[in-house]
Amino acid sequence: MKDEDRQRVASVIAANSQPVTLNDLAQRGDRKFRVISMNDTLELIEAVVDDVINKGTADVSQEKRQQFIDEANTQFQQVAKIQAKSQETISQQQEVITAQQAQIERLEEEKHDLKNKYEAQRGEAAEFEQANYQHTQSLDRAREELAQARQREQEAAANVEQISRRLANARETILNYDREIDRLVAQIKDDATLIEKLRVQLHEREHEIGRVKGLMEALHQEVTAARAKSAIEPESIHELRGELVEMKAFLKSLEKQNGHEAPAIEALLQRIAQKEADTKSDAEDRFNSKLSDTLDKIGHAINAATAKPVDSHVDAASVYISKLFDEEGVMESNLSNLDIQATTAKQSISSSLERLKTLRSKASKAVEGDGDTEKK
């Protein structure tokens, strides 16, 4: 066999066989192996082929034999070419398969990553939804509280404004009364000045009357003395009488004048005093009354704005509670369909109850005994 034929046979064997490791063979269950080299294999094949050809072609001429060999070589070369082409195709397909397997593995990894991301995002979405729900609830409550606070603030502002207006009115009223009091006080002062002036005049007139009375008394004594002596000249007596008459006339005029003015002064004084008292009393009464009313109004306004619960017990059921359940019709519940778990207390209350009754009974008897003693 030629060398090139041996190479073709070797490539055919290589193309139609697979390299297998000993471990793989062991895994298949093979334990013992016979090893033959490629050269030995080719020599064996060559010997067998030569032997067969020699036997089958013993009676064939050398020329014929060479023709068979040439035809066989030609066929073998064709088969070898086909085999080589197939091997190439197989190699290409294996490369494609390897590439596709790598692609599949990459896609599997991407799929796994995407799945993890999806799970994580789904968890985050659930948490976000939960948090969003809680925030919505909180926001609703905050809005309600804010609305209530605003309403309270508006009410308080309205109350403060109302109180401010009332306070301004009260201040104006007080100022008016201050002005009225000032005017009355000034008038009273004027009246008092007038009274004082009249008193001074009256005092001066009384002093003048006293002085004139003294003069008349002195003249009368002189006349009496002159009569007693009888030594006085008639002209002198006449002159003295004339002076006395003048003095009397003056005194009478003074008395007359004084008598006319005194009741008037007295009446004026009384009228002024009365007026002073009435005016003062009336003004004070009116002022006090108005001031009291104003203070009451301010007090009511302040109390209304800063009202606290009255410290007395009221029956809430009749006043308020019934209104709380006006919406009972729109409420729906399953409570009547459900049982509630009940437990029996381990501790009895009967002994406590008995002791308490005994104690109360003793206390009642003691009270009755005290009552009897008091009666006795």
Residues in touch with other proteins (CB under 8 A): 130, 133-134, 137, 144-145, 309, 311, 313-318, 320-322, 324-325, 327, 330-335, 337-353, 355-357, 359-360, 363
User: What does 45-63 look like in DSSP terms, one character per residue?
Assistant: HHHHHHHHHHHHTTTS-HH
Q: Which is nearer to other proteins, 50 or 124 (CB)?
A: 124
* CA torsion angle 147 153 159 161 (round to 10): -120
Whether 57 contacts 68, CB under 8 Å: yes
* CA torsion angle 197 201 204 208 (round to 10): 180
Closest CB 369 distance from other proteins, rounded Å: 16
Provide CB contacts within 8 A for 11, sequence distance 6+: 80, 83, 84
Q: Which is nearer to other proteins, 35 or 345 (CB)?
A: 345
Closest CB 155 distance from other proteins, rounded Å: 17
Closest CB 331 distance from other proteins, rounded Å: 5
What does the alpha-carbon distance between residue 114 and residue 148 come to, in Å, rounded to a whole number?
Answer: 49
Amino acid type, 93:
Q
Whether 236 contacts 278, CB under 8 Å: no
Closest CB 307 distance from other proteins, rounded Å: 13
Closest CB 141 distance from other proteins, rounded Å: 9
Q: Which is nearer to other proteins, 29 or 309 (CB)?
A: 309
Closest CB 167 distance from other proteins, rounded Å: 29
Closest CB 300 distance from other proteins, rounded Å: 23
Q: Which is nearer to other proteins, 28 or 313 (CB)?
A: 313
Q: Is 340 helix (H, G, I), strand (E, B) or coil?
A: coil
User: What does 265-303 look like in DSSP terms, one character per residue?
Assistant: HHHHHHHHHHHHHHHHHHHHHHHHHHHHHHHHHHHHHHH
Amino acid type, 243:
E
Q: Which is nearer to other proteins, 230 or 351 (CB)?
A: 351
Q: Which is nearer to other proteins, 189 or 360 (CB)?
A: 360
Q: Which is nearer to other proteins, 150 or 199 (CB)?
A: 150
How many Å is the Cα radius of gyration of the chain?
74
